[in-house]
Structures are given as structure tokens and as C-alpha cells.
A and B are shown apart, each in its own frame.
Chain A
Amino acid sequence: MRGRVGAAAAVIAAGLGLSAGHAVGEEGVSRIEVMAKSCLACHGAQGQGPGHMPAISDLTAEGIANKLMTYKNDGDPDATVMNRHAAAYTADEIEAIAQYIANLSN
């Protein structure tokens, strides 16, 4: 829930008589958050790695970023789809997505 003001702002908005969803000062959902949530489709809602899928919930941000950069730049013969996915993201995006995923369990 990081990066959002959520319920508290809504209460303030209510006090100011603002219409729903238009709380002043509320941040939007970031593009990094939307992109990081993409990881969960294959790695599970908590990144826990259901079934045969590798878990990503117990990795450091640095570890995730290093892995993604390897997929992107060199390719990992054991990675299957991850080489093809990682190639689409910039180094800055990878860094930010890695930070987000590493903080999932916090």
C-alpha cells in the first residue's frame, strides 16, 4: 500500500465536502507499481512462487535488479520467458521494480 494516502485522505476529503475520490494531495498509483504488479501474475499474489514458479518474495532489491539486468543484457539459458520480458525495461525501471518487489513482504 506504499505510495498511497488512501483512507486517511478520504476522511479528510469527506470533512472538506469533496466528492468521492478527489481527495486533495492524494498521490496516484505509480507506473512502477503497475509494472511491478505484473510480476505477480507468474510469481503469485505475494511473489511466493506457487507450484513450479520461482519465488521472488525472499530476494533483496539488489539481487532482483542484478538478475533482471542479466536477463536483459546477457540472457540466462535457464530463464525461458524472463529473458524476453526483462529486455523491455530500462535499467531505471528495473531498479525501481526491484525495490518494489523486495518490499512486497514488508
Chain B
Amino acid sequence: MGDQTRNTPARVRRLAPPATWSAPGRPRASALALGGLAPRKAAAASGARVVVVGGGPGGATAAKYLRLFDPSLRVTLVEPKSAYYSCFGANWHLAGIRPLSKTRQTFDALRDKHGVEVVQDRVTGWDADAGTAELAGGSRLAFDRLVVSPGIELAWDRVEGMGPDDAEQIPHAWQGGEQYRILRSQLEAMDDGGLVVICAPPNPFRCPPGPYERIGLIAHYLKQQKPKSKVLALDPKDGFAKQGLFEQGWRELYGDMIEWVPGSQGGALYEVDPKTRTVLTQEGFQKHEADVLNVIPPQRAGRIAQEMGLTDASGWCPVNQQTFASDRQPNVHVIGDSAIAGAMPKSGHAANSQGKMVAAAIVNQLRGQPVPDAKLVNTCYSLVSPTYGISVAAVYRFDGGKIAGVEGAGGLSPSEADEFTRIQEARYAQGWYDAITDDIYG
């Protein structure tokens, strides 16, 4: 931490909560809030400074690859948590086939092997123009470029009847770690013959196949342990990722244990009563009493992205889809779930691909070189059961100002695939987890 531009806590006064952020178009506002401290010095000649906000797959990949692509860069990763619990692979914990500890990723290799400075803190103020970010702990980081990868915020204001304080009773399990432990323990505590209700979110949301992998894997657990139980999936949408493959797998493996109700047939959530684990649909006329209730709320860009003025009216962050440079603020890039990235889904794999791309774009721009015209990728495996895997893959290119899928490539696992292929893809799903976490955190 020695070579970062920092002020000692004694000299810095924390902003009165909530922190004052520079409003879009008025990027100097927080410089004033910093109390008239000296403006940032020009970047040191030994290397430009890049601050990465968020230690999920996007941010951690960007931090690592910035250092791989240019070891002279001084890269700081700011993440409030001491470790990252992935959402991907965590549905497997709900099925009882993966301990939660195996979804935990540390920043040790980023720090010790790749020379990324990892700061466990939260960004509370910033000045894009001056190139400084202020942390909750009182210190200040100077940057030439800022990469923001804050994932999602759950939009509780769009869920009638419950809020974040109810999430211990009614887990969302859409952010990693503890929430998955709660949902798993509720499934374990449920009696045989119980009803599990899963409320899927509206588009767009993190991990499009995620709710549907969850439906199948909870059914897998119930079939093994509590075979008289049912899974009711309520969905505001009429379709979902890998739908044909999921429904085929559900039928083959779980028969009538699973019922999926699309939006056009009353699947949209109207109101939740967390005390009684009751869900109302059909404008309140239809009542579903759950024994275990999993409400996955609507989503928007991570809170930091909103506070920094990086979002548009959609709640997500418009970017140049080649460089991931924010449309809203200079010298700031947004990647991962928060970014509007054309045809790319909000997935860990997409965030990993974008992390590499933004690292290359920043390095080349700092060197005065053109941004590489690279194709990006997404590979997404889902388990229908521990031995039944399906996948979707896509390759993307920047075309006409947007990220678009390369025609003639990508696509789904074949619907007529044999048992061996399903087993093989289930193995690859688990191998993929080990590989991508090695690529991101190893």
C-alpha cells in the first residue's frame, strides 16, 4: 500500500453519511467535499494507476489481467468483503452436492502472485475529474482509470410486502454465501410433503438460467430426501434461458414434482407476506402458501454504480460496448452485471470475458494504441441434476456500436443428446467452476 497516494486518517475527515458523490455533469462536487485537499498528482512515471471497484468475477479478472498485460501498472482492488462467495456453483449447494465453502474465493493470489493491491474497504466518494476515490476507512486512492464492477442491487422497492430485512426469513439467495446457507437450511428443515415456492425475477437479471437450475436442483434434493414434496415456480416471464432443455430435463427426472407458472398464466408476483410465507399472484386473487419461500427480486446495477451517476433510466450502466468506458463519467469503465453489454448476458463468464477486454482496452489506450477488436465469450453450464448437465455458449463481436453474437456460432446443447452427453456436460459444469475460478482468482 506504500506507493498509493493516500492521506492519513488524521488529515481526512470522512464525509457525513451518506457520502457526497459527484453528480453527473458536476464532477468537481466531491473534490470540494474532500475538504480542499491537494489535487491529485500526475500519474507517477513508473506506471499508471488503476483502481478496480468490486472483487467479483468482473473486477477480479480486470485487476489480474491489467497486471498480466502490463506489469508496470499499479492496480488496486477495493472490495468490502474479505472473500468472495460466488453465486455460480452455489445452486449446487442447495442440492447438497457442494459445500458452501467451495464457493468461497480469496484474493490471496491476486495480491501475492499478481501484485494487485487488495484493499478491504468501500468506496464512498469520488472525483472522476481529479481522479480520486475516497474510501469509508478515510483513505483516498488516486487513479488514472477506474473500473467499476459492482454486480447487482436487489430492487426491494419493486417487491410488495417485503424488504431486505425479511431476507433471513425469505432468502433471495441471489448474492453468494450466507443467503445460500439460509435457503439450504430451510430446505433441510422442511417436512416431506412440503411446498417450495420460487419466485423468478423479471428481465434483465443476473444469471438468466440461474432460477431454473435452482428449480431442478431443489427438486433433485427433494426427490432424494422428501419425495412427496413439490416445487412451484412463479415467473413474471413467459420464457427463459435454455427453456426447452430445462423443461425436458425436469420431465425426465422429476415428473410432476415441478410446476412452472408463466406470467401470462398468473405467475407474476403481486405481494408477499413474509410472516406466513404466503405469495399472492393474479392481482391478489390467487394465494400460494409455501413451506420454503425463495423470492428473487428484480434487479438493477450495483449501488455504487447508481451513486456514482453511472446508470441511466433503466437502472443499468450505458457504456461504450468496445472499451466499456462509461457514457456518463470520464476515465471510468463499467463491466459485469451492471453494464449494458448488448447481447452478452449478466453472467460470471461474461464478466470474466469483459474483465480481460477492459484490461486490454485500458492498457492500449494508456499506450496510445488502438483498442483490440477481440471477440468475447460466454459459456454457461447448468445442472438439471448432478449427472445431467446442459449448456449454452456464445461468441460476441463489437459490431455497429454494439456487442452482437457471431452468427453461425454458439447455441445450446442438442435436445436429442444422449445420456452420456448429459453426464459429460455435468462433469464439465463442475470442471468449469474450477477452471474459471482459477482464471479469475488463481
Contacts and interface: CB of A to CB of B under 8 A. Distances in A.
Given A37-B65, A41-B439, A51 B360 contact: no
Counting contact residues on chain B (CB < 8 A from A), the size range is 35 or more
Given A6-B71, A21-B47, A80-B428, 19 more contacts: A1-B71, A4-B70, A20-B44, A20-B46, A20-B72, A21-B366, A22-B368, A28-B370, A34-B372, A41-B435, A42-B431, A44-B434, A44-B439, A53-B428, A53-B432, A80-B391, A80-B413, A81-B428, A85-B377
21 contacts: A6-B71, A10-B47, A20-B48, A20-B366, A28-B367, A28-B369, A29-B69, A29-B372, A31-B374, A34-B356, A38-B376, A38-B377, A41-B377, A41-B435, A41-B436, A42-B428, A42-B436, A49-B431, A52-B427, A84-B393, A87-B409
B408 A87 contact: yes
A50 interface: yes
A80 B72 contact: no
B344 interface: no
Interface string B341-379: 000000001001100110110011011111011111101
A53 to B, nearest CB: 4
A33 interface: yes
Given A28-B372, A29-B360, A80-B391, A50 B144 contact: no
Main SS class of interface, B: mixed
Interface residues of A, number: 45
A76 to B, nearest CB: 12
Contact of B349 (A4, A17, A41): A41
A1 B70 CA distance: 9
Interface of A: 1, 4, 6-7, 10, 13-14, 17-23, 26-31, 33-35, 37-38, 40-45, 49-53, 78, 80-81, 84-89
A41 B48 contact: no
Nearest to A84: B393
B350 to A, nearest CB: 10
B78 interface: no
Contacts of A10: 45-47, 72
Contact of A31 (B47, B373, B395): B373
B72 A81 contact: no
Contacts of B366: 20-22
Main SS class of interface, A: loop
A59 B84 CA distance: 33
B421 to A, nearest CB: 7
A33 B281 CA distance: 50
* Residue with the highest number of chain B CB atoms closer than 10 Å, among A17, A29, A37: A29
Contacts of A41: 349, 352-353, 377, 379, 432, 435-436, 439
B349 to A, nearest CB: 6
B360 A34 contact: yes
